[in-house]
Amino acid sequence: MLLHIALQEGFHHDEVRVSVDAREVWGSADLTTRRQTGYAAAVEVDVAHTPVVVEVVLSKRGVAQTKSVSVDRPTYLGVSLTTEGNLAWKTSYEPFGYL
C-alpha cells in the first residue's frame, strides 16, 4: 500500500533522515523548503502492513519524532517543522497540492 511522505514547511539546510519501521527510506544532508510552494521533498514507500511507525530525525537540531500511521489505503503524510522547532504531522487520503 502506498505511503507518501512529504517534507513540507520549515526546513532550512537541515540534515534529515526518514525511516519507516526502523528502516531508513530517505535522507538528505541539506534540505530546504521552497517557500514559493511550501514543499521540500517527498518519498513514496510501499508498505506491507498497517500501522507503520514513521520516524523523522533532524540531527543538527536534535529533533527526532515518531508517528504511528495507519496505511489501509493510499496515505499521504505531510511533515512540517514548526517555528518552535517541533514536527507537525498531517495525514490525508488525497495527494497534497502545492501552489
Partner 1 sequence: MKEQDQIDQEYRVEAAEIARPGIEPLIPILPWPPRVRVSGLYAASRIVTPPIPAPGPLPIQPVPLAQPMPGIAPTAAGPWQIEELLPWGFLREELRLDVDGRYPQMMASGTLYGVLAKRVHWIARLTASGPNAWTGSIWFKDGDVASFPYTMVEITTTATFLSSQRKAVVRFSGGGTSVRTRTLAFKSPYFRQVEFEFDCATGVTATTHIGTHDHPNRPATLPGETLTIEEVYRRVGFDVRKSGSDSIVPIGDAGTNARWSDNEMHDAMQVYWSRFAGKAQWSLWVFFARLHEQGTSLGGIMFDDIGPNHRQGTAIFNESFISTAPTGDANPVAWAKRMRFWTACHEMGHAFNLAHSWQKQHPPDWGTPWIPLANEPEARSFMNYPYNVSGGQTAFFSDFAYRFSDNELVFMRHAPERFVQMGNADWFDHHGFEQASASPEPALKLNLRVDRAQATYQFLEPVVLELKLTNIGSRPLVLEKELLSMTDHMTVIVKKRDKPARQYLPFARYCHDMQAQVVMPGEFVTDSLFISVGRNGWDIAEPGYYTIQIALHMETEDVVSEALTIRVAPPRGYDEEFIAQDFFSDDVGRILNFDGSAILRRGNDTLREVSDRFGDRAVAYHARVALASPLAKDYKVLDMGDRMGEMASAKEAGGRLRRAAPRIEEARQLYTSALLEKKDQAIATLGRTDYEYYLGRFRESLMEHGAVLKKEPRDVKRDAKREKNGDIEHTMRVIKETLSSLKDQEPVSR
Per CB under 8 A, residues contacting partner 1 are 9-10, 12-13, 35-39, 83, 95-99
Query: Which CB sits closer to partner 1, 18 or 78?
Result: 78
Query: Which CB sits closer to partner 1, 48 or 93?
Result: 93
Q: Kindly state the smallest distance separating residue 49's Cβ from partner 1, in Å.
A: 26
Which grid coordinates are listed for 87? Answer: 514536527
User: Are 6 and 18 a contacting pair, CB within 8 Å?
Assistant: no
Rounded-to-integer distance, Cα 14 and Cα 12, Å? 5
Rounded-to-integer distance, Cα 24 and Cα 37, Å? 26
Query: Which CB sits closer to partner 1, 24 or 86?
Result: 86
